[in-house]
Amino acid sequence: MSGCNTWMLSVHRFRSTLTLIRLPSLNHCSRQRRREVKAFTLNFSLPGIRAKNRAPIKMICELRAPDVSHLQVTVLDNGSLRISNVTRLDDGLYTCVARNQFGVASSAGSLLVKEPTAITSPAGHLDVTVGESIVLPCQVSHDPTLELKFTWFFNEQLIHFGNLWAFFEKVGGRSSGDIMIRNIQPKHAGKYTCAVQTKVDSVSIATDVVVRGPPGPPGDCRVTAVTENTASVSWAPGADNYSPILSYAIQARTPFFLGWQAVNTVPKLLGGKQLSATVIDLNPWVEYEFRVLATNSIGTGEPSRPSKKARTRETPPRVTPARVNGGGGGHSELVITWEPVPEELQSGSGFGYVVAFRPLGAQGWMQAAVTSPEASRYVFKNESIPPFSPYQLQYWSERQKPDTASVIRTVGNKTSVLIRDLEGRCTYYVSLRAYNSAGVGPQSNTVNVTTKKPPPSQAPGKIMWNTSNSKVILRWDQVHALENESEVTGYKVMYSQDKHSRPSVVETNSTSLELSLPVNQDYVIQIKPFSEGGEGRSSRQITIPKIAGAVPLGAAQGTCTYSLVILAASLFTAML
């Protein structure tokens, strides 16, 4: 029961009898609290009263007791007794006596006065830094006979101590409700209330906690404009977490580097009020992402979400291949090597190389185009320079003896030879000697090589073709290798304007091909399969007549669909 009890007297008429009823006698009161207790009723039994119907009956009920000087009491109009500013001196037995000419009735009750509960920790304001551990005090003075119950609230929400609230821990004793917040974070900033309750009273105290930490991530990071080597980036400020933002930094990421890299900006230093900047010294034709980080006196916060990818504009290449060297080739060969330009420095699409070279002392340069951006070497052959001497090659199979070896002699400036009519899947041994009119030179080391299965013996059949505008679409049946032949890995399509001109060759691993050919010209086409064992048999030649706007159809013996894409390469010069 909480509060102080006061006594109230009232008389109820019930037929012709009055009965006295006694209320519970033990009441608790905490000093400096004023409450009223429910009234109890005095009923008296008055036999022999006679009265006319509807006539009034007057009864007198007076309170009589010796004066108590220290009591600050007030008798209310309804007969209740109010005691103000209760102290320990107010402990005791209280009796209410009702008396009239018909008799006397009384009721008594005990009043126990308890010490009030008070929080001795002052209400306060805590200013902490993220990552610290703090204790929120809730020290209490109270009546030792009363049991305390501590309850904590965070922003009016009840704190449940346990796994979901792992940052919070109770550290107080019986008369203390202190809690600790470990590794405090910005989300823990707010109002904390400690409520203390006993069976007779309750008190509470609030503490405001401010958590200062690194800034939150900036928002809305975006690229607003790009040039060949710059990008304009803007962003919105994030939460400063109670410590003003001092500066910003921009980072960039490309497909060619791991992680995020710091970049140069204009202005060079980005102050806390800066919400846009120009990133400089970027590479042309490279796809970039950007993000922004904010810093205050506490530290650097989390980065913003990356911007959408943006590609800088393309330009002619600004770098030359590195480590250009020459030499190391065979007879009549000039081998030129270089270090390929990294993709992030190629500055545009269609990247390639122009290799220029000249004999020592010559004025003009010879040039060759290399269209692959990954290329790192070019071999120039000068057939007009003969080798110092021809060669004699000997070869024999694993089932033969060296003295039965077959011999091939080269003529002129050849430094390679094709050995034909070998057995498939057989190991051969090969040695080489130079020779001239005086005889043969010393033998080279013997090497061995194992031949592969022979190429397919069947030629592509059922060649079909049709034309549309300047395109020719070829199709043919797939060639299936026999058991002792190597599997087909692709096809070579050879086409020329007539049977005597040198054909152009396109390779495909499909059984169809689309060619872009000039109109008003006849073309001769042949198709042959190839495998790891070499080239197979060619189909018979087919002639495709001039393309003149109609859509001719034709059939021979031949395919599936494959698109030939011819890209215009941007070629740049590597000088030896």
- 174 with 208, same domain: the answer is yes
The parent domain of residue 161 ranges over 118-212
- Report yes or no: 205 and 138 within 8 Å, Cβ to Cβ: yes
In a domain, 459, yes or no: no
Which residue bears the tokens 């109820």? 12
Q: Where are the alpha helices (DSSP H) in 298-439?
A: none
What is residue 19's predicted lDDT score, i.e. its pLDDT? 33
pLDDT tens track for 280-297: 999 999 999 999 999 999
- 242 with 224, same domain: the answer is yes
What is residue 415's predicted lDDT score, i.e. its pLDDT? 83
- Report yes or no: 189 and 210 within 8 Å, Cβ to Cβ: yes
In a domain, 168, yes or no: yes
In a domain, 264, yes or no: yes
In a domain, 186, yes or no: yes
What is residue 564's predicted lDDT score, i.e. its pLDDT? 25
- 189 with 228, same domain: the answer is no
- 203 with 227, same domain: the answer is no
CATH number of the domain where residue 150 is located? 2.60.40.10
Could you give the CA distance from residue 187 to residue 137 in angstroms, rounded to a whole number?
Answer: 20
Which residue, 90, 114, 138, sits at the end of a domain? 114
Could you give the CA distance from residue 489 to residue 533 in angstroms, rounded to a whole number?
Answer: 10
Integer distance in angstroms from the first to the last C-alpha of the chain?
Answer: 104
What is residue 520's predicted lDDT score, i.e. its pLDDT? 74
- 108 with 122, same domain: the answer is no
pLDDT tens track for 314-333: 999 999 999 999 877 776 78
- 77 with 139, same domain: the answer is no
Strands 124-129 and 190-197: unpaired
Strands 310-311 and 245-253: unpaired
Give the Å distances, CA to CA, from 3 to 35, 85, 116, 144, 450: 5, 12, 10, 17, 108
Which residue, 336, 361, 381, sits at the end of a domain? 381
What is residue 566's predicted lDDT score, i.e. its pLDDT? 25
In a domain, 560, yes or no: no
Which residue bears the tokens 């500055």? 347
Which residue, 311, 330, 353, sits at the end of a domain? 311
- 26 with 108, same domain: the answer is yes
- 156 with 231, same domain: the answer is no
In a domain, 455, yes or no: no
What DSSP state is assigned to residue 360? T
Number of domains in the chain: 6
- 400 with 373, same domain: the answer is no
Give the Å distances, CA to CA, from 231 to 219, 227, 289: 18, 6, 10
In a domain, 561, yes or no: no
- The one-digit pLDDT tens for each residue of the chain (576 residues) are 333 433 333 333 333 333 333 333 334 444 443 333 333 333 444 444 555 565 565 555 444 445 555 567 887 776 677 888 888 888 888 888 778 888 888 888 888 888 899 999 888 899 999 999 999 999 999 999 999 999 999 999 999 887 666 789 988 777 789 999 999 998 899 999 999 999 999 999 999 999 999 999 999 999 999 999 999 999 999 999 999 999 999 999 999 988 999 999 999 999 999 999 999 999 999 999 999 999 999 999 999 999 999 999 999 999 999 999 987 777 678 899 999 999 999 999 999 999 999 888 888 999 999 999 999 999 998 766 655 678 999 999 998 998 999 999 988 767 889 898 888 888 999 999 988 877 888 999 999 998 888 888 899 999 998 887 778 889 999 999 888 888 899 999 998 887 677 888 999 999 999 988 776 778 889 999 999 888 889 999 888 887 655 444 444 433 332 222 222 233 333 332
Residue 280 backbone dihedrals phi, psi, to 5 degrees: -115, 175
What is residue 340's predicted lDDT score, i.e. its pLDDT? 95
What is residue 569's predicted lDDT score, i.e. its pLDDT? 30
Could you give the CA distance from residue 42 to residue 30 in angstroms, rounded to a whole number?
Answer: 27
Could you give the CA distance from residue 27 to residue 379 in angstroms, rounded to a whole number?
Answer: 112
Give the Å distances, CA to CA, from 168 to 139, 154, 158, 195: 17, 11, 12, 16
In a domain, 284, yes or no: yes
